[in-house]
Amino acid sequence: MADKALIEKAKKIFENFLTKQGSRKTPERFSVIDELYSLPEDEHMDVEGLFLSMRNKGYTISRATIYNTLDLLVESGLAVKHQFKDKVALYEQALTYKHHDHHVCNQCRKIREFSDPKINEIKEQIGHGFQSAITSHSLVLYGNCEIENCENLQEF
């Protein structure tokens, strides 16, 4: 179930961002927030998935509007964009974002999120070694599915 208060908060932040940018506040742009923030927190969605989901719900919106709105959402800090290996860009909501890393299966393409304090320790050690205050990092681990009868397994 979507957190309506979270969606309204995201819309208010986006409205303020658009005002500062001098950009139009269209219903279509705000419908992208509705859709993105209705997903489970750990779900990643591509433009085509958003487009199809929104069309199935009766929205009249173009792919170009979704692309442009997602760019604005990333710029405003309301979405995070990921590019995993050969996959298209995937987006996730950022308002409740807690830093995490990703494991991507080479075979079934499932994306799993994880956090491990040892990674932060390594980040701190590397930063110290380079005399750098590391402010962010991105770690993606790729592996081969070993789940028997995996429902996501794709033949290549």
Domain with CATH 1.10.10.10 in the chain: 4-93
Give the number of C-alpha atoms closer than 13 A to the C-alpha of residue 12, restricted to the C-beta side: 7
Q: Are 141 and 101 in contact (CB under 8 A)?
A: yes
Hey, which CATH number is domain 101-143, 3.30.1490.190, 3.90.850.10, 3.40.50.450, 3.40.50.1100? Answer: 3.30.1490.190
Reported confidence tier of residue 127, pLDDT bands at 50, 70, 90 = very high
Pick the residue with more confidence: 154 or 144?
Answer: 144
Domain with CATH 3.30.1490.190 in the chain: 101-143
Residue-level pLDDT at 51: 96
Under CATH, what is the fold of the domain 4-93?
Answer: Arc Repressor Mutant, subunit A (1.10.10)
Find how far residue 152's CA is from the centre of its chain. Answer: 20
pTM of the model: 0.76
The helix or strand, by DSSP H or E, that contains position 109, with its residue range, turns out to be none
Q: pLDDT tens digits, residue range 5-64?
A: 999 999 999 999 999 999 999 999 999 999 999 988 778 899 999 999 999 999 999 999
Residue-level pLDDT at 40: 84
